[in-house]
């Protein structure tokens, strides 16, 4: 498989792309939602790397965060809950020259999609995988997710989330053949961008957990904007 | 030497074997050659003793010699069944004919059994003709273990009155002259006996052995050849009969394979280069075949972490430009359901092969059933129309794949191919397909998209639109499983939602308009029309021939397209006084407790036909875990015949 970075070198036309060349529909996340920050950082990365919009694909599952591809002007695949990774793998297997990004929520990735997550880490295809971890189910309105901190109340565990959270990083590191595992936060923009950049230039699967604020449901569990 | 117990007297021919090197060279007994139109032979052993390899080689050689052949595997239910147990019987049934053979037939005429318990299994299953000849390993009669000797005697008593002709054969004893472990040699010895009896060309046998054991060493090949010769010579020296089935002349080049190999080869012919799967019987062997080819010539078999992922990978690959496919059986189809809905909604072309087995749940994993028809059509929340095609022969397993790929691509649709365990493992010769350029997939169109072209620019009258794939400049858009408009923009309005449904449904109607009405087999009109689908075609048509010869006014109709339904059915049905389906799935029987005309659960095809045609289509269905026998279908035809005067 060719890596994302190789792909840039094959730019054979003289177009240059500005930020607006990557902007899709107006983002509909709540005001103050951390997903906006991730979108801004990703757009900045795409234009910095001058990725051709037609050779770039964003694949997502279902959730607030999975609306991501709609807000870009690349190719996008907004699929079913938990199962973005198999679709992305299929795309990459058939068209290794495309730059393929995956965006998932924490429920999407570590709960319903956990099997695909573990195994795709192991297959290690050349994908940039972003897990937007707000520690809660956002789209379905405030249910406990595997990464919800213990004690945080939710609509399904009103007395406080019962179990300690799953640690996505230690789990990912436990998968043999995982080749790039990182953690960052959307509210630390410089670190976020540097991590995305490193992930993009890594050849193989880059898994990035991005701590993300959800001011609607987890106000207080992460820093306010 | 063999002691003959009184229970065996009269039914057992003790082959007068004098052990020793003289055997091989002995001039042999005089043989009566029986000339036959057809003959059915079974080889059964404990699992792991290689009866299947023996039969597969025998079947392939027979096909190469021009005989019609149909083979059916006899599969134990468990991977490690106990030795010498009826439930462990493993092997094959091979029906040989002078002309084409289209199904496994009724009764077996000759059996090679490696012990008396596996023989009992076949006897109890009613598989054997009353005058069948049985070649039976004799070592158990004189085994050191008294329990085994006793079991043997009881078995002999159980079969004593049937009329079988039992010939005991010192298979183990003879094999031990060549190998240390007779369990690893008897199957080739048996092959040698069959080669003698059916007058098979030994060069072809050796060629087939070389092919079958191509991954093994030369020593294995040489040992197997010696064992075959040993069996051949033993039979020549001790048997008093041979069987001749002269093939009808045929100058067309033929190929011989099972249905799963045909599906794999068809997939390659269709230009599909990616198969995503998760292992499940009886579908898996397609991927074995493809892996072997793809590893050498390019292409991908992706063994995913589960069936859901397999569907997702195939969808991703298709979305990226070329049609990919996923292959599974019932439980896997259930898991893929949500993804199939997504493929329908996003109009990503996709081919799904479901090699059906017995259900529900884990059901009968190795056995034949046709119980997934309604699931293939309807298992999906929301309205998600797809194309469903069922090949009826092994030859059709090949051609269905090119058809499926082309329909999937042209209609941006999900095409489900319903094969079954009978086709999957059955081996049959068929005319070698002549390569046709229409089979092949065009390379993905990566040209720039003209301004104004939409990802779902539906043609109002057909619902068809040209897809845009990643890499096409100016075509960027996000596909989504949410309700969307022509531009793939998410929209929840009633108008947009309804329009999308209408467009996706219209494609199916357009496909239906392109199909030609099927032709009944046997007669254009009459008293009874039997409707079937899938692997039962051969048995149903043979039953029609026999019933018509016996004076019944019966015909049959075999459907390949189940969604959309083939056109013209109502008109055909009206030319018969009664219409009934014959299927391998469950239906209530009238007369069962609480069952009424109104609440009766019917065979799956009959359910569909009633809904589509408003004709009172009856059904006769069975779930025996094995293919239907033509004789049983003839009997059903008698039962289904409308009474005279019932207009
Ligand atoms: C099979 C299936 N089950 C459940 C749902 C409902 N559902 C949609 S999104 C979601 C969870 C969202 O949480 P997360 O993945 O963390 O993403 P977020 O919305 O917080 O970004 C659920 C349960 C669904 N769409 N499909
Ligand atoms: S609910 Fe939370 S995660 Fe979803 S858009 Fe609003 S702020 Fe973002």
Summarised one tens digit per residue, pLDDT across range A37-78 is 999 999 999 999 999 999 999 999 999 999 999 999 999 999
By the 10 Å C-beta count (0-12 exposed, 13-18 middle, 19+ buried), B253 is classed as exposed
Determine the pLDDT at residue B4.
Answer: 45
Q: Residue B15 pLDDT > 90, yes or no?
A: no
- B126 φ/ψ sector (left φ>0, alpha ψ -120 to 50, else beta): left
- Check CB contact under 8 Å for A24 and B478: yes
Given CB atoms, is B481 within the 8 Å cutoff of chain A? Answer: yes
Claim to verify: residue B190 and residue B307 sit in the same structural domain: no
Determine the pLDDT at residue B417.
Answer: 98
CA of B278 to the centre of ligand 1 (A): 25
- Check CB contact under 8 Å for B320 and A98: yes
Q: What tokens were used for B37?
A: 């139109």
- Check CB contact under 8 Å for B316 and A90: yes
Q: Residue B288 pLDDT > 80, yes or no?
A: yes
Find the residue in B nearest to A59 (Cα): B478
Task: Give the ligand 1 atom nearest the CA of A104.
Answer: 15
Which ligand approaches the C-alpha of residue A145 most closely? 1
Given CB atoms, is B286 within the 8 Å cutoff of chain A? Answer: no
User: How far away is chain B from the Cα of A152, in angstroms, using its nearest Cα?
Assistant: 31
Q: What is the CATH number of the domain that holds A105?
A: 3.40.50.970
Best residue in B312, B380, B485 for a mutation probing chain A (most A CBs within 10 Å): B312
Measured between beta carbons, the chain B residues lying within 8 angstroms of A86 are 304, 308-313, 315-316
Q: Would A225 be classed as within a structural domain? A: no
Claim to verify: residue B429 and residue B403 sit in the same structural domain: yes
Q: What is the tens place of the pLDDT at every residue in B483-535?
A: 999 999 999 999 999 999 999 999 999 999 999 999 999 999 999 999 999 99
Measured between beta carbons, the chain B residues lying within 8 angstroms of A80 are 338-339, 341-342, 481
User: What is the band of B272 on the pLDDT scale with cuts at 50, 70, 90?
Assistant: very high
Interface of B with A in 394-423 (CB under 8 A): none
User: What is the band of B26 on the pLDDT scale with cuts at 50, 70, 90?
Assistant: very low
Determine the pLDDT at residue B424.
Answer: 96
The verdict on the CB of residue A27 being under 6 Å from ligand 2 is no
Q: Residue B18 pLDDT > 80, yes or no?
A: no
Determine the pLDDT at residue B245.
Answer: 96
- Check CB contact under 8 Å for A77 and B489: no
Cα gap A66→B312, rounded to integer Å? 16
CB-side neighbour CA atoms (13 Å) of B6: 0
Cα gap B63→B70, rounded to integer Å? 9
Determine the pLDDT at residue A69.
Answer: 98
Indicate the average pLDDT of chain B: 93
User: What is the band of B25 on the pLDDT scale with cuts at 50, 70, 90?
Assistant: very low
Residue nearest to atom 23 of ligand 1 (CA): A140
Q: In what order do the strands lie in the sheet with B526-533?
A: B554-559, B526-533, B576-583, B618-621
Q: Could you report the predicted ipTM of this complex, rounded to two decimals?
A: 0.93
Q: Would A97 be classed as within a structural domain? A: yes
User: What is the band of B23 on the pLDDT scale with cuts at 50, 70, 90?
Assistant: very low
Given CB atoms, is B493 within the 8 Å cutoff of chain A? Answer: no
Q: Would A100 be classed as within a structural domain? A: yes
Residue nearest to atom 6 of ligand 2 (CA): A30
The verdict on the CB of residue A171 being under 6 Å from ligand 2 is no
The verdict on the CB of residue A30 being under 6 Å from ligand 2 is yes
- Check CB contact under 8 Å for A95 and B338: no
- B528 φ/ψ sector (left φ>0, alpha ψ -120 to 50, else beta): beta
Q: Would B249 be classed as within a structural domain? A: no
Find the residue in B nearest to A13 (Cα): B473
Determine the pLDDT at residue A3.
Answer: 40
Q: Would A58 be classed as within a structural domain? A: yes
CA of B481 to the centre of ligand 1 (A): 14
User: How far away is chain B from the Cα of A37, in angstroms, using its nearest Cα?
Assistant: 20
Cα gap A109→A114, rounded to integer Å? 6
Claim to verify: residue B310 and residue B176 sit in the same structural domain: no
Q: What is the tens place of the pLDDT at every residue in B614-623?
A: 999 999 999 9
Q: Would A40 be classed as within a structural domain? A: yes
Q: Residue B333 pLDDT > 90, yes or no?
A: yes
User: How far away is chain B from the Cα of A70, in angstroms, using its nearest Cα?
Assistant: 6
Q: Would B119 be classed as within a structural domain? A: yes
Task: Give the ligand 1 atom nearest the CA of A106.
Answer: 16
Best residue in A63, A94, A118 for a mutation probing chain B (most B CBs within 10 Å): A94
Claim to verify: residue B185 and residue B46 sit in the same structural domain: yes
Given CB atoms, is B477 within the 8 Å cutoff of chain A? Answer: yes
Q: What is the tens place of the pLDDT at every residue in A70-84?
A: 999 999 999 999 999
Indicate the average pLDDT of chain A: 93
A vs B: CB pairs below 8 A: 133
Cα gap B139→B133, rounded to integer Å? 18
Q: Which of A149-158, B28-37, B277-286 has the lowest mean pLDDT?
A: B28-37
Determine the pLDDT at residue A114.
Answer: 98
Claim to verify: residue B431 and residue B452 sit in the same structural domain: no
- Check CB contact under 8 Å for B479 and A77: yes
Claim to verify: residue B81 and residue B124 sit in the same structural domain: yes
Best residue in A67, A87, A99 for a mutation probing chain B (most B CBs within 10 Å): A87
Given CB atoms, is B32 within the 8 Å cutoff of chain A? Answer: no
Determine the pLDDT at residue B184.
Answer: 85
Determine the pLDDT at residue A8.
Answer: 45
Q: Residue A4 pLDDT > 80, yes or no?
A: no
Measured between beta carbons, the chain A residues lying within 8 angstroms of B321 are 94-95
Q: What is the CATH number of the domain that holds B232?
A: 3.40.920.10
% of chain B beyond a pLDDT of 90? 89
Best residue in B309, B446, B447 for a mutation probing chain A (most A CBs within 10 Å): B309
Determine the pLDDT at residue B19.
Answer: 38
Mapped to the 3 state alphabet, what secondary structure does B559-593 carry? ECEEECECCCHHHHHCCEEEEEEEECCCCCCCCCC
Q: Measured between alpha carbons, how far is residue B197 from residues A6, B229, B231, B281 in Å?
A: 66, 13, 10, 34
Measured between beta carbons, the chain A residues lying within 8 angstroms of B339 are 80, 83
Q: What is the CATH number of the domain that holds B599?
A: 3.40.50.920
Measured between beta carbons, the chain B residues lying within 8 angstroms of A88 are 316
Claim to verify: residue B409 and residue B452 sit in the same structural domain: no
Q: Which of A52, A76, A94 sits opposite B324 (nearest CB)?
A: A94
% of chain A beyond a pLDDT of 90? 90
By the 10 Å C-beta count (0-12 exposed, 13-18 middle, 19+ buried), B637 is classed as buried
Q: Would B489 be classed as within a structural domain? A: yes
- Check CB contact under 8 Å for B320 and A70: no
Determine the pLDDT at residue B3.
Answer: 43
Q: What is the tens place of the pLDDT at every residue in B80-111?
A: 789 999 989 999 999 999 999 999 999 999 99
User: What is the band of B355 on the pLDDT scale with cuts at 50, 70, 90?
Assistant: very high
User: What is the band of A223 on the pLDDT scale with cuts at 50, 70, 90?
Assistant: low
Cα gap B345→B290, rounded to integer Å? 29
Q: Would A67 be classed as within a structural domain? A: yes
Task: Give the ligand 2 atom nearest the CA of A65.
Answer: 3
- Check CB contact under 8 Å for B482 and A78: yes
B542: domain range?
526-640
Q: Which of A5-19, B41-55, B239-253, B302-316 has the lowest mean pLDDT?
A: A5-19
- The H or E element containing residue A69 is none
The verdict on the CB of residue A22 being under 6 Å from ligand 2 is no
Residue B557's beta-bridge partner residues? B531
Q: What is the tens place of the pLDDT at every residue in B294-323?
A: 999 999 999 999 999 999 999 999 999 989
Measured between beta carbons, the chain A residues lying within 8 angstroms of B314 are 90
Q: Residue B1 pLDDT > 90, yes or no?
A: no
Which residues does ligand 1 sit against, CB inside 6 Å?
A 62-65, 81, 105-108, 132, 134, 136-140, 145
A98: domain range?
19-211
Given CB atoms, is B600 within the 8 Å cutoff of chain A? Answer: no
Q: Would A13 be classed as within a structural domain? A: no
Interface of B with A in 303-322 (CB under 8 A): 304-306, 308-322
Given CB atoms, is B445 within the 8 Å cutoff of chain A? Answer: no
Claim to verify: residue B232 and residue B330 sit in the same structural domain: no
User: How far away is chain B from the Cα of A150, in angstroms, using its nearest Cα?
Assistant: 30
Cα gap B380→B382, rounded to integer Å? 6
* Domain stop point among B373, B403, B435: B435
Total domains present in chain B: 4
Cα gap B26→B234, rounded to integer Å? 9
Q: Would A28 be classed as within a structural domain? A: yes
Average pLDDT over residues B124-148: 96
Q: Please calculate the CA angle B162-B167-B168 and round it to the nearest 5 degrees.
A: 120
Under 8 Å between Cβ of B128 and B111: yes
Total domains present in chain A: 1
User: What is the band of A11 on the pLDDT scale with cuts at 50, 70, 90?
Assistant: low
Q: What is the tens place of the pLDDT at every residue in B402-441?
A: 999 999 999 999 999 999 999 999 999 999 999 999 998 8
Q: What is the tens place of the pLDDT at every residue in A93-142?
A: 999 999 999 999 999 999 999 999 999 999 999 999 999 999 999 999 99
Determine the pLDDT at residue A221.
Answer: 66
* Domain stop point among B455, B488, B514: B514
Helix pair angle (A114-123, B307-319), 10° resolution: 60
Q: Which of B304, B319, B322 sits opposite A77 (nearest CB)?
A: B319
Query: Which chain A residues have any C-beta within 8 angstroms of a chain B C-beta?
Result: 24-25, 52-55, 57-59, 62, 69-70, 72-80, 83, 85-95, 97-98, 115-116, 118-119
Average pLDDT over residues B559-583: 98
Q: What is the CATH number of the domain that holds B424?
A: 3.40.50.970
DSSP structure string for B83-128 = TT-GGG-EEEEEEEESS---S--S-EEEEEESSHHHHHHHHHTT-E
């Amino acid at each position: 498989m060719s890596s994302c970075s190789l792909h840039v070198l094959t730019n054979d036309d003289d177009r240059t792309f500005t930020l607006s060349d990557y902007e899709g529909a107006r983002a509909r996340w709540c005001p103050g939602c951390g997903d906006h920050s991730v979108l801004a950082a990703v757009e900045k990365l795409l234009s910095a790397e001058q990725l051709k919009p037609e050779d770039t694909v964003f694949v997502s599952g279902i959730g607030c965060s999975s609306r991501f591809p709609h807000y870009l002007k690349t190719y996008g695949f907004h699929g079913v809950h938990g199962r973005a990774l198999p679709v992305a793998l299929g795309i990459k297997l058939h068209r290794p020259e495309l730059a393929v990004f995956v965006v998932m929520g924490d429920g999407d990735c570590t709960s319903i999609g956990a099997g695909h997550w573990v195994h795709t880490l192991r297959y290690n295809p050349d994908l940039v995988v972003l897990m937007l971890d707000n520690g809660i189910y956002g789209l379905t309105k405030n249910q406990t997710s595997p990464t919800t901190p213990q004690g945080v109340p939710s609509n399904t565990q009103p007395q406080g989330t019962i179990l300690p959270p799953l640690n996505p990083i230690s789990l990912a590191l436990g998968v043999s053949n995982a080749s790039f595992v990182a953690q960052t936060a959307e509210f630390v923009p410089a670190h976020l961008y540097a991590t995305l950049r490193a992930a993009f230039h890594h050849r193989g699967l880059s898994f990035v957990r991005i701590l993300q604020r959800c001011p609607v449901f987890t106000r207080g569990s992460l820093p306010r904007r | 030497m063999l002691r003959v117990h009184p229970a065996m007297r009269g039914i057992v021919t003790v082959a007068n074997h004098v052990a020793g090197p003289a055997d091989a060279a002995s001039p042999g007994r005089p043989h009566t050659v029986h000339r036959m139109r057809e003959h059915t032979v079974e080889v059964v052993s404990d699992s792991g003793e290689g009866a299947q390899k023996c039969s597969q080689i025998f079947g392939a050689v027979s096909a190469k010699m021009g005989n019609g052949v149909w083979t059916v595997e006899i599969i134990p239910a468990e991977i490690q069944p106990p030795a010498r147990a009826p439930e462990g019987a493993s092997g094959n049934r091979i029906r040989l004919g002078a002309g084409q053979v289209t199904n496994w037939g009724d009764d077996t005429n000759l059996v090679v059994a490696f012990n008396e318990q596996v023989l009992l299994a076949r006897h109890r299953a009613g598989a054997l003709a009353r005058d069948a000849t049985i070649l039976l390993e004799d070592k158990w009669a004189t085994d050191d273990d008294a329990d085994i000797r006793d079991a043997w005697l009881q078995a002999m008593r159980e079969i004593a009155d049937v009329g079988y002709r039992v010939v005991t054969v010192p298979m183990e004893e003879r094999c031990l002259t060549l190998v240390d472990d007779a369990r690893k040699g008897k199957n080739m010895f048996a092959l040698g006996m069959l080669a003698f009896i059916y007058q098979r060309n030994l060069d072809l046998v050796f060629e087939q052995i070389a092919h079958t054991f191509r991954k093994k060493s030369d020593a294995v090949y040489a040992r197997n050849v010696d064992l075959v010769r040993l069996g051949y010579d033993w039979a020549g020296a001790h048997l008093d009969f041979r069987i001749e089935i002269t093939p009808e002349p045929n100058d067309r080049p033929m190929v011989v394979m099972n249905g799963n190999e045909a599906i794999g080869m068809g997939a390659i012919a269709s230009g599909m280069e990616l198969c995503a799967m998760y292992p499940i019987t009886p579908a898996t062997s397609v991927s074995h075949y493809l892996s072997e080819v793809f590893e050498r010539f390019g292409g991908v078999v992706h063994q995913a972490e589960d069936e859901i992922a397999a569907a997702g990978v195939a969808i991703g690959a298709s979305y990226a430009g070329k049609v990919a496919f996923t292959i599974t059986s019932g439980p896997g189809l259930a898991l893929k359901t949500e993804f199939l809905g997504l493929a329908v909604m996003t109009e990503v072309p996709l081919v799904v092969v479901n090699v059906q087995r017995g259900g529900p749940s884990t059901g009968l994993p190795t056995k034949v059933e046709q119980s997934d028809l309604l699931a293939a059509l309807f298992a999906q929340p929301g309205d998600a129309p797809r194309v469903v095609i069922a090949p009826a022969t092994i030859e059709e397993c090949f051609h269905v794949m090119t058809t499926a790929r082309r329909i999937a691509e042209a209609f941006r649709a999900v095409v489900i191919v319903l094969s079954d365990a009978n086709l999957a493992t059955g081996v049959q010769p068929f005319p070698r397909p002549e390569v046709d350029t229409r089979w092949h997939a065009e390379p993905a169109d990566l040209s720039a998209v003209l301004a104004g072209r939409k990802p779902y620019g539906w043609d109002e009258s057909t619902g068809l639109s040209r897809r845009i794939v990643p890499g096409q400049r100016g075509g960027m858009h996000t596909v989504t499983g949410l309700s969307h408009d022509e531009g793939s923009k998410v929209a929840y309005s009633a108008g947009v939602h309804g329009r999308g449904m209408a467009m996706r449904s219209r494609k199916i109607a357009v496909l239906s308009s392109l199909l030609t009405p099927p032709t009944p087999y046997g007669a254009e009109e009459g008293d009874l029309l039997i409707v079937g689908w899938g692997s039962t075609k051969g048995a149903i048509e043979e039953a029609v021939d026999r019933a018509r010869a016996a004076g019944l006014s019966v015909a049959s109709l075999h459907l390949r397209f189940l969604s959309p339904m083939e056109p013209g059915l109502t008109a055909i049905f009206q030319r018969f006084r009664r219409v009934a389906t014959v299927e391998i799935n469950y239906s209530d029987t009238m007369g069962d407790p609480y069952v009424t005309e109104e609440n009766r659960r019917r065979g799956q095809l009959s359910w569909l036909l009633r809904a589509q045609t408003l004709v009172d289509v009856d059904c006769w269905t069975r779930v025996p875990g094995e293919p239907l026998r033509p004789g049983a279908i003839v009997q059903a035809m008698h039962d289904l015949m409308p009474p005279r005067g019932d207009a």
